[in-house]
Each structure stands twice: as C-alpha cells, then as structure tokens.
Amino acid sequence: MDNVVEIKNITKKFGSYKANDNISLQLKKGEILALLGENGAGKSTLMGMLSGLLEPTSGEILINGHKAVMNNPRDAKKLGIGMVHQHFMLIPAFSVLENIILGDEPTKGSFIDYKKAATEIQKLAQKYHLDINLNAKVRDITVGMQQRVEIMKALYRKANIFIFDEPTAALTPQEIDQLIKILRALAAEGKAVIFITHKLKEIKEVADRCVVIRMGKVIDTVKVSETKEETLAEMMVGRKVNLALDKKTVPQDKLVLEVKNLEVDAHKRRKVSDFNLTIHEGEIVGIAGVDGNGQSELIEAITGLRKVRAGSIKVDGKELQNYSARKISEAGVGCIPEDRQNVGLILPLTIAENLALKDYYHEPISKYGLLNYKLINQNGRKLIKDFDIRSQSEKELVGDLSGGNQQKVIVAREIAKEPKLLIAANPTRGVDIGAIEYIHEKIMEQRNAGRAVLLVSFELDEILKLSDRIIVIHEGKVVGQIDPQNTSSEELGLMMAGKTPVSTGIER
C-alpha cells in the first residue's frame, strides 16, 4: 500500500444540503493530484475535512493506511498534512520567521529560541530552493514570497501531504513557473501533493492524475496525460460549454474616454504614472495586468473615488479629473466594482433601495430632502423584471439573494442608467460558469449598442475573448498595446511581468 491518503465514501451535509456526496479518492507518495471543479462544487469542503476544519457527516479518511480522526487543524498537522490556503493565513504585522514558527516555537527556558528556528528553516529553504527573507515583515513582501512562506510553514511542520488551494490565482506567470518547480521538487522528495484549481492549463502542466468533482460528487478520475483540456472542461461544467460571443461590427469612431498623462498616488506611493488611454464608442478595451499593478487606483481615479495627482480624464470631451463620484456618475460613467458585497451593494438594504443607490438623491425620487419610497419600489419592480433578478419581492434584502442575483442587481443598476462609459472590474471573479456567460453577454450587448467599455481583469482568457484592444499595465505604467487577435496568452504573460514590451501594437 503506497496510498498516503485514502478518502472513502465521504459525505458532508450542512443542514439538508449535501456539500460532498459520497466522495472517494486516493493519493500516492510522490504524486501530484489535481482536484478540478467549479466554484461551489465542493472542493473547499472536501479539503476542509482533510485539514481538520470540518468534520465529515459520514465516511472515513485513511492517512498512511490508518483511520484518521481530525477534530481540529492541530490533529491534521500531526498527521503530516500541510495546507496552503488560497487566502494566505499570514499575519502581516509579524516577521516571516514569526509566521513560520507560530504555534510550534522552539524554546529555551521560557523564551523563544529564534536562532535555532532560523537555522532549521534556512536548511529547509536550501533543500527545496525556497527563496525567503526571514527577517522581513510579511506586509512588506511580494505575494509570491508570501506563498513560499506558506509552503515553508508546512515544511517546517514536517508535512508530507501538501494541499494547495487555488495557488496560482494571484501570481505572475513567472511566479507560477517557480511554483511549479517547487511542486515538482516536493514530489521528487516523496511528498504527496493535492492541487486544487479550475485552470485546465496548469493541470496539464503539472498534475499526474485529476479528480473532477461537480455538485459535490466525483465525476471521474483521469490520467492527465491521456485527457484533453476540452474533455476536462466538459466534465467540470456538466455540459458543452459555449462561450462564443456575438461580436458585431459597429462603428468605433467617436472618442468617449480620454486619459492623458495620468498620475495617481495611494498610500504615499505612485501607483499610476504617465498613463494614457482612449476608448471609443462600441469598443471594449481590456486592461491586462497582475493584481496590484495600479488597476484599482486607475479605476478609482476615473470614477472619482481617488484624487488625481496630475493629468486629465475626459469623458465625451468634458474634463472630469478630481470631480466627485456623483458628478462623474452623472456625466455618464457606470461601474461594476470588483468587490460586489462590500462596494457594489449594501446588503442589509432592500433590492429596490440598492437599485436606487445612484438615483435616490435627485428628482423625482427625492424632493425637498424627502424620499419617495413608492417610486423607489416601483422602479425596483421594473428592473427586477427586466433583468430577471430572482427574488420574492423588491423589498427583499439584497443580502438574502444568491451571489449571481446580487451581481445582476449591480449590472441592472449600472446598465439601466445607459452610461456612455461602462467600467467592469473583474466582473466574473468568483462566480460560476452560468453567471460568467450572463455577464459576458451583457458586456458585449453594451459594446454592440455603441457604448464604450473598460474591462479590467486578471483572467487573461477573459481579456483576450472580450476586448477589441488590450493595454498591458505593469507597475502603474502602460507597457504595451496589443491586438487580441494576434497575441497568445504567453506573450501577454511576459508583458504583464514587465518584460520587453513586444510591439504588436495597433495605432490608435
């Protein structure tokens, strides 16, 4: 028996809802196993049980052939299971060293023996080629290094089973390459690795076998080398995926957005500099770049949430830089923000109130400082019907809606105002394929109706598919403009990392 992990017929219920339904899988020593599934398919629940955060309703887990009882993360750790979470479990105010040893500190007398800890960690770092700076504070290091700290945390605890939860989500293509090397090194040393993802390309590159789960059930376990990407996708979604979009030819002559020499600061650092951007009617311009390269600040500057240091922003020829968010909204700029629950909506308010968030303050809804709730609710009912928002009534709280329907409330509010410029920031992050299709359709509809669209996304495929033109941003600067028709995602990846701007640029 060389099965390090064996999951046997595990079921996990929350109330009457089965998050995992009779799941079984095996993991061997030195193997990299991919776990593929959509958001909400039950991957995290399964890994939660494997890392001691959740208890299975029925079924059992064998570790090294013995039945494992894990009541808390500590138990899982003792069995050699190390988890690298998608949202890093690090403490920004602590040093890298403190983060690694926390909970398992070597002590001398009653004091922590930092020297001993450091020596031990340095040894591991050399063995696995993990480049980390032990004395830096975690809040000062890059995302890539934070992930290496997470890996080191598991190594330090002598883990031999590694679980990686969506590890590539926030990495640059180069950091992903580095991670894949580390994964191979781990496997070569005889560690077993589970790699959770919904990205097919990475599975093809690194995994030996792949378990596909959908709606809490295992659909199939396949050898990666013998399976095509398309097949994996179909198994994951459960139907043929048709993501083709109806991109009409529309006139793209009239300039809508013109950003010139823009400079934006955040937290006393230059986040956007010397930035130029134009978008025309009927055009989708995609901004490609790794998270944290000035995209958020760019959007905040355009929508009036952040001060502009220098440069100009014109919409329809009117200068709008440093206007208030409300003035800019009135000038015809709509925005689907990335953080729907915290920025796009006010969850404890009703659907109708949320739909009125950008119109409540002027006539006819507001007169003499008083609000006309009858009108608010009436408008709400209309938009709910037009945009097919599934709800009981317009007075239902938005917080009680499903994620997909919450997204629809925002889309409805922003599109109903018929903006000249629509900004969409990672509009499909964290939603499932059905909702992705809906949102992509709506964005394309806006373009085809002759509106200008600014799409910011970390998903290269999304950018390549929707955009008429792509601008690559790195450290707040434009590194190149490219035509999605003649660019591969590899080239795009290189540019996003700030490497050699390839001039496939189209002149505009």
Partner 1 sequence: MLSKSFKGISNALISIFAGFIVGAIVMLSFGYDPLQNYQNLLVGAFGDIYSIGETLRNMISLILTALGFAVASKAGFFNIGGPGQYLVGWFSTIAFTLNFSHLPGFLLITGGLLCGAVAGGIWSMIAGVLRAYFGTSEVITTIMLNYIALYFVNFAVKNWLAAKGSDSSPNIVRKASLNTNFLQEITHNSTFNWGFFIALIVVALIWFYFNKTRSGFETKTVGLNESASKYAGVNVKRTIVIAMLISGLLAGLGGAIDGLGNFQNISVSNNLPSVGFNGMAVALLAAENPIGIVFSALLFSALQIGGLSISVYSNTPSEIVDIVIAAIIFFVSIKYVFELLLKKRWFAKKRVSEKEGADK
Partner 2 sequence: MSLTTILMTVFSTTLIYAAPLIFTALGGTFSERSGIVNVGLEGMMIVGAFSSTVFNLSFANVLGNATPWISLLVGAVFGLLFSILHAVATVTFRANHIISGTVLNLMAPALCVFLTRIIYNGKGQTPVIDQSMGSFTFPGLSQLPFVGKVLFSRTSLVAFVAVFIGILSWYILYRTNIGLRLRSVGENPTAADTLGINVGKYRYLGVLISGFLGGIGGAVMAQSITLNFSASTISGQGFMSLAAMIFGKWNPLGATGAAIFFGLAQSLPIIGGYVPVLSQVNSVWFQIAPYAITIIVLVFFLGKAVAPAADGQNYIKGK
Binding site for partner 2 (CB under 8 A): 51, 53-54, 72-74, 77, 83, 85, 89-94, 98, 102-105, 107, 110-112, 153
Q: Which residues bind partner 1 (CB under 8 A)?
A: 13, 15-16, 58, 303-305, 324-326, 329, 335, 337, 339, 342-349, 353, 357-358, 360-361, 366, 369-371, 373, 395
CB nearer partner 2, residue 163 or residue 284: 163
The interface partner of residue 329, options being partner 2, partner 1, none and the CB cut-off 5 to 8 Å by kind, is: partner 1
Cis check for the bond before 251: say yes or no (omega within 30 of 0).
Answer: no
State the binding partner of 342 from partner 1, partner 2, none, CB within 5 to 8 A by kind.
partner 1
Find out whether 294 and 264 touch, Cβ atoms under 8 Å: yes
Q: Closest CB to partner 1 among 244 and 370?
A: 370
Cβ proximity to partner 2: between 153 and 306 the closer is 153
Least Å distance, CB 321 to partner 1, is 16
Query: What is the spatial distance between Cα 168 and Cα 359, in angstroms, rounded to a whole number?
Result: 40
Report in angstroms how near the CB of residue 372 gets to partner 1 at its nearest.
9
Shortest spacing between CB 156 and partner 1, in angstroms: 37
**Residue 13 beta carbon to partner 1: minimum distance, rounded to whole angstroms:** 7
Q: Which residue's CB is nearer to partner 2, number 94 or number 360? A: 94
Question: Residue 469 binds which one of partner 1, partner 2, none, with CB within 5 to 8 A depending on kind?
Answer: none
Considering the complex, state which of residue 53 and residue 347 has its C-beta at the smaller distance from partner 1.
347
- What string of DSSP letters covers 375-432? HHHHHHHHHHHHTT---S-TTSBGGGS-HHHHHHHHHHHHHHT--SEEEEESTTTT--
Amino acid letter, 311: G
Q: Residue 337 touches which of partner 1, partner 2, none (CB < 5 to 8 A by kind)?
A: partner 1
- What secondary structure does DSSP assign to 108-133, as a single string? ETTEE-HHHHHHHHHHHHHHHT----
Question: Which of 284, 287, 323 lies closest to 457, judged by CA?
Answer: 287
In angstroms, what is the minimal distance from the CB of 335 to partner 1?
8
Runs of H (alpha helix) within 164-279: 173-188, 200-206, 229-237
Of 191, 207, 181, residue with least CA distance to 80 = 191
In the complex, what is the shortest distance from the CB of residue 78 to partner 2, in angstroms, rounded to a whole number? 9
222 binding partner (options partner 2, partner 1, none; Cβ < 5 to 8 Å by kind): none
Q: What's the gap between Cα 394 and its chain centre? A: 30
CB of 101 to partner 2, least distance (A): 8
Pairing of the two strands 333-336 and 370-371: unpaired
- Beta strands 477-482 and 469-474, pairing class: antiparallel
